[in-house]
Amino acid sequence: MTSQQPVADLSGLVVERWGAVQHRVAAAARDAGRDPRDVAILLASKTMPVAVVRAAALAGATLLGENRVQELVAKAPELVDLAPTWHVIGPLQSNKVNAALRWATCVQTVGDLALATRLSRRCEAVERDLDVMVQVNVSGEPTKAGVAPQTAVDLALAVGGLPRLRLTGLMTIGARSDDPAPVRAGFALLRGLRDEIAASGAPGCGEVTELSMGMSGDLELAVAEGATVVRVGSAVFGPRQG
């Protein structure tokens, strides 16, 4: 957060930039021959103060994502009047599962069966359902979380079979590259994996439609490759500090 910048100023900018991102997504969808309404924009609110997130939510950003459970638990109660939908988009430690599930309707970052099993057990205990996505490391960069593409289908089929979990799709973070070709190839790879899972006929895999991919810097490439959810932070909030 730019501590020098008053929240009121930032809130005005955020509303303006949210509109600009909507235009970018719509233009990318039209270029790809897709209906802009088929691409949801998730606002990644990490590090942003709740007043600024509120301004964005009032402007229409009602699908929110948090990386850190501590931030989710701090912000979500302050925004209940706006009833946003919260997704977990960062690594979820097992000791944070209960806290996360108090607010999140979807965990996009399931990268192994241990986490999926823990989520399933918790959901059974409290008698609720949970949407999940399997996170795939399409670029193979060692700093990125997610299951390897080679084992993504096996993991997805296992997750789809767990009680109380509804596997909705796959999520990835695009390759870090100035060359669009490998970034786009990674997104295409994710789409192929989703199609393979959906076509498998395995239990719990019939509703696998979502592709959560694309961020501020590469959302056009993701939409061209079929993204149904793009996750945007800095294009709305400005560059993060630190």
Answer whether 211's CB lies under 8 Å from 190's CB: yes
Task: Identify the three-state secondary structure at position 210.
Answer: strand
| Residue from the set 13, 32, 46, 177 that interacts with ligand PLP by CB under 6 A | 46
Choices 52-60, 118-126, 189-197, 228-236; region in contact with ligand PLP by CB under 6 A: 228-236
* Residue 217 contacts ligand PLP per CB under 6 A: yes
| CB of 66 or CB of 157, closer to ligand PLP | 66
Q: Provide, rounded to whole angstroms, the least separation between the CB of residue 218 and ligand PLP.
A: 8
Spatial separation of the C-alpha atoms in residues 176 and 221, rounded to whole Å: 13
Question: Do β-strands 104-110 and 85-88 pair in parallel, antiparallel, or remain unpaired?
Answer: parallel
| Residue from the set 41, 44, 69, 110 that interacts with ligand PLP by CB under 6 A | 44
| Residue from the set 49, 164, 215, 238 that interacts with ligand PLP by CB under 6 A | 215
Helix count (H) and strand count (E) of the chain? 9, 8
| CB of 50 or CB of 202, closer to ligand PLP | 50
Q: Provide, rounded to whole angstroms, the least separation between the CB of residue 65 and ligand PLP.
A: 7
| Residue from the set 136, 216, 222, 225 that interacts with ligand PLP by CB under 6 A | 216
Considering only residues 144 to 203 of the shown chain, the ones binding ligand PLP according to CB under 6 A are 173
Question: Do β-strands 85-88 and 63-66 pair in parallel, antiparallel, or remain unpaired?
Answer: parallel
Task: Identify the three-state secondary structure at position 3.
Answer: coil
Considering only residues 67 to 96 of the shown chain, the ones binding ligand PLP according to CB under 6 A are 67, 89-90
Look at the chain and count its residues.
242
* Residue 222 contacts ligand PLP per CB under 6 A: no
Q: Provide, rounded to whole angstroms, the least separation between the CB of residue 125 and ligand PLP.
A: 27
Spatial separation of the C-alpha atoms in residues 169 and 208, rounded to whole Å: 5
| CB of 7 or CB of 145, closer to ligand PLP | 145
The separation between the first and the last C-alpha atoms of the chain, rounded to the nearest angstrom, is: 9
Distance of CA 65 to the CA centre of its chain: 6
Taking residue 79's Cβ as centre, other Cβ atoms within 10 Å add up to 19
| Residue from the set 28, 56, 100, 235 that interacts with ligand PLP by CB under 6 A | 235
222 Cβ contact partners less than 8 Å away, ≥ 6 residues apart: 174, 187, 211, 213, 214, 230
* Residue 52 contacts ligand PLP per CB under 6 A: no
Binding site for ligand PLP (CB under 6 A): 44, 46, 67, 89-90, 173, 215-217, 231-235
